C-alpha cells in the first residue's frame, strides 16, 4: 500500500511511488496539539512532512481537557497564521489572583502590569486541536496519516527508516529526521534508549468543569493550600475549569464523593465570590509528575513536548512549553534547510536542544519549588512564602518579572512570535 498525499484516498491497490532518496524530509510522530503546531509552523519551509497519529479520537478530547494558553503561545499561533481561527472559541483572562490558603494578602496581576489587553487565555482541547487539524490538512507539503502506527525505527547514517502500520499493512518510509511528539510515555524515545529523570509527586490532580452563579469576570485564580495548588480558569459561556491538586488518597476520596458532596467540598476551596456552583460533566483524576529527558536530540531524532519533559501543572506551563518547543524546532530546521544543511544531523538538532532544554529546566524547577514551598505547613517555610507574597504584591519590578517568567516572556523568543 502506498502512502499518498494529504486528502487523497489511501488504497491497498495503489502502486508504490517512484523511488527517491527520501520519501519525506521530516516525519512527526504524534498528531496532538504540539505535533500539529510543528507541522503548521513549517507550512512555508519547503520541507515535505509526514504526520502520523495513532488515535482517531484523542483521550484529551474525551476528557474535555483544557489549558491555559500564554501570551507567547498566542504570538506563535499569530505568526503561523491560525490565531484568528482559535481566538473566537476560547476565553481571555485579564486578571490573576494569587493567594495562600487563609492568608488575607492577595497578589493581583492585571493587564496594566504588562501593558497588554489580556494576561492570557484558556482553551478547551478541541478548540486548539480542530483548527490545527484543518490548517494542516490544507498544507500541501504535509501528509497526514490517522490512524497509523509506527512499528519500528532504524537510524542510519544518512536517513531513518520507519515502518508504519496502516490498516494492518506495513509501509516503509525513509526520512531525514523523525520528531517524537508522542507523549510522556513516548515509544519513539524509549526505543532510542534516551533516559529520563524525575519523579512522581505525592499528589494527584482532579479536573472538572463548573458553572458559577455569578460572572467569572475574566479572572483566573491560583490558590495555594497545604495539600496542593488549586486553580480556577475562566472559559466561554461563564464556565470555569478547576484544577485541584491533593495527596493521592485525598484526591481519590474526593472523586468518590457524590456530586452534591463534591460541590460542598469544592465551594469550601473555591469560596463564595461567584455564588452557587453547578458541576458540568464528569470529574477526572491524574497523577502529577516531573520528568526531564537526558537528551532532546540524537542523530536524526528530536523530542518535542511531553516526550521530552513534564512538569507540575501549577501555572499551566505544560502545553505552553511544548508549543515553544515546536516553534523553536521549526525555526532551527527551517533555517538549516534554507542554508542547505542536513536537518537530521546531530549538530543541527543540538541547536534546538541547547535552546529549549535549559529554558524548560528553569520552568520545571520553578514549578517544583512553588509546589513544595506552598504544599506544606512547616512554619519557617510558611513565614518565608508569605513574606515573599507580601513583597511580590508591593514591588512592581518583581511582580512584572514573575509574570513574564510564568508566561514565557523571559526566554528566547522564536521568530514566529515576532511576526
| Secondary structure (DSSP) of 310-339 | E--STTS-HHHHHHHHHHHHHHHHHHHHHT
| Cα–Cα distance, 406 to 322 (Å, whole number) | 14
| Cα–Cα distance, 173 to 186 (Å, whole number) | 19
Q: Which of 137, 129, 144 is nearest to 49 (CA)?
A: 144
**Is 179 in contact with 38 (CB distance < 8 Å)?**
yes
Neighbour tally for 179: CB within 10 Å: 31
315 Cβ partners below 8 Å, 6+ apart?
A: 68, 222, 367, 370, 406
Q: Is the pLDDT of residue 6 over 50?
A: no
Supply the pLDDT for residue 145.
93
336 Cβ partners below 8 Å, 6+ apart?
A: 342, 343, 348
Running DSSP on this structure, what letter comes out for residue 213? S
Supply the pLDDT for residue 63.
63
Supply the pLDDT for residue 57.
65
| Cα–Cα distance, 51 to 27 (Å, whole number) | 6
Mean pLDDT of 361-388: 94
Please give the sequence-ordered ranges of beta strands (E in DSSP) within 42-141, or none if there are none: 49-52, 66-69, 91-93, 95-100, 106-110, 120-124
**Is 120 in contact with 21 (CB distance < 8 Å)?**
no
Cell numbers 524509549 correspond to 190
Supply the pLDDT for residue 261.
96
**Start-to-end Cα distance in the chain:** 41
| Cα–Cα distance, 39 to 352 (Å, whole number) | 16
pLDDT one-digit tens code per residue, 80-99: 999 999 999 999 999 999 99
Task: Give the ranges where 103-258 is alpha helix by DSSP (H).
Answer: 111-114, 125-137, 187-191, 248-256
Q: Which of 74, 27, 3, 17 is nearest to 414 (CA)?
A: 74
Question: What is the percent of the chain where pLDDT is above 70?
Answer: 93
Q: Is the pLDDT of residue 10 over 80?
A: no
Mean pLDDT of 122-138: 95
C-alpha pair distances (Å), 213 with each of 64, 259, 296 = 21, 17, 46
272 Cβ partners below 8 Å, 6+ apart?
A: none
pLDDT one-digit tens code per residue, 299-326: 999 999 999 999 999 999 999 999 999 9
Supply the pLDDT for residue 62.
63
Residues 120, 122, 128, 129, Cα dihedral to 10° = 140
∠ CA 286-288-293 to the nearest 5 degrees? 125
Cell numbers 483521550 correspond to 59
Neighbour tally for 358: CB within 10 Å: 11
Supply the pLDDT for residue 377.
92
What pairing do the DSSP bridges indicate for beta strands 309-310 and 228-235? unpaired
pTM of the shown model:
0.93
Task: Give the ranges where 282-416 is alpha helix by DSSP (H).
Answer: 318-338, 346-374, 379-394, 396-406
| Cα–Cα distance, 244 to 89 (Å, whole number) | 24
Amino acid at each position: 500500500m502506498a502512502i499518498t498525499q494529504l486528502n487523497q484516498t489511501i488504497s491497498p491497490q495503489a502502486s508504490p511511488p517512484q523511488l527517491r532518496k527520501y520519501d519525506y524530509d521530516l516525519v512527526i510522530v504524534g498528531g496532538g496539539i504540539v505535533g500539529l503546531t510543528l507541522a503548521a509552523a513549517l507550512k512555508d519551509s519547503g520541507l515535505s512532512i509526514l504526520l502520523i497519529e495513532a488515535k482517531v479520537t484523542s483521550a484529551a478530547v474525551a476528557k474535555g481537557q483544557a489549558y491555559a494558553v500564554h501570551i507567547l503561545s498566542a504570538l506563535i499561533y499569530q505568526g503561523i497564521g491560525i490565531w484568528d481561527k482559535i481566538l473566537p472559541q476560547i476565553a481571555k483572562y485579564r486578571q490573576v489572583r494569587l493567594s495562600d490558603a487563609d492568608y488575607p494578602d492577595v497578589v493581583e496581576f492585571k493587564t496594566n502590569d504588562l501593558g497588554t489587553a489580556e494576561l492570557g487565555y484558556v482553551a478547551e482541547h478541541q478548540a486548539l486541536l480542530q483548527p490545527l487539524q484543518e490548517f494542516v490538512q490544507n498544507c500541501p507539503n504535509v501528509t497526514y496519516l490517522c490512524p497509523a502506527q509506527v512499528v519500528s525505527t532504524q537510524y542510519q547514517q544518512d536517513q531513518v527508516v520507519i515502518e508504519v502500520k496502516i490498516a494492518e499493512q506495513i509501509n516503509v518510509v525513509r526520512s531525514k529526521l523523525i520528531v517524537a511528539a508522542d507523549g510522556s510515555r513516548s515509544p519513539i524515545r524509549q526505543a532510542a534508549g534516551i533516559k529520563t529523570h524525575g519523579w512522581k509527586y505525592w499528589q494527584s490532580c482532579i479536573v472538572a468543569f463548573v458553572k458559577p452563579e455569578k460572572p467569572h469576570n475574566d479572572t483566573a485564580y491560583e490558590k495555594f493550600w497545604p495539600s496542593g495548588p488549586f486553580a480556577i480558569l475562566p472559559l466561554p459561556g461563564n464556565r470555569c475549569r478547576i484544577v485541584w491538586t491533593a495527596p493521592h488518597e485525598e484526591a481519590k476520596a474526593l472523586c468518590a464523593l457524590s456530586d452534591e458532596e463534591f460541590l460542598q467540598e469544592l465551594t469550601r476551596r473555591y469560596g463564595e465570590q461567584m455564588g452557587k456552583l453547578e458541576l458540568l460533566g464528569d470529574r477526572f483524576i491524574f497523577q502529577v509528575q516531573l520528568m526531564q529527558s537526558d537528551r532532546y536530540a540524537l542523530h536524526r531524532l528530536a523530542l518535542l513536548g511531553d516526550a521530552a519533559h513534564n512538569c507540575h501543572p501549577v501555572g499551566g506551563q505544560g502545553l505552553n512549553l511544548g508549543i515553544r518547543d515546536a516553534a523553536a524546532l521549526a525555526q532551527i530546521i527551517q533555517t538549516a534547510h534554507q542554508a542547505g544543511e542536513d536537518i537530521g544531523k546531530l549538530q543541527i538538532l543540538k541547536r534546538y536542544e541547547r535552546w529549549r532544554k535549559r529554558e524548560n529546566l528553569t520552568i520545571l524547577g520553578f514549578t517544583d519549588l512553588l509546589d513544595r514551598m506552598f504544599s506544606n505547613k512547616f512554619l519557617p517555610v510558611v513565614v518565608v512564602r508569605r513574606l515573599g507574597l507580601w513583597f511580590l504584591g508591593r514591588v512592581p519590578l518583581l511582580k512584572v518579572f514573575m509574570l513574564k517568567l510564568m508566561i514565557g516572556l523571559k526566554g528566547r523568543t522564536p521568530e514566529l512570535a515576532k511576526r
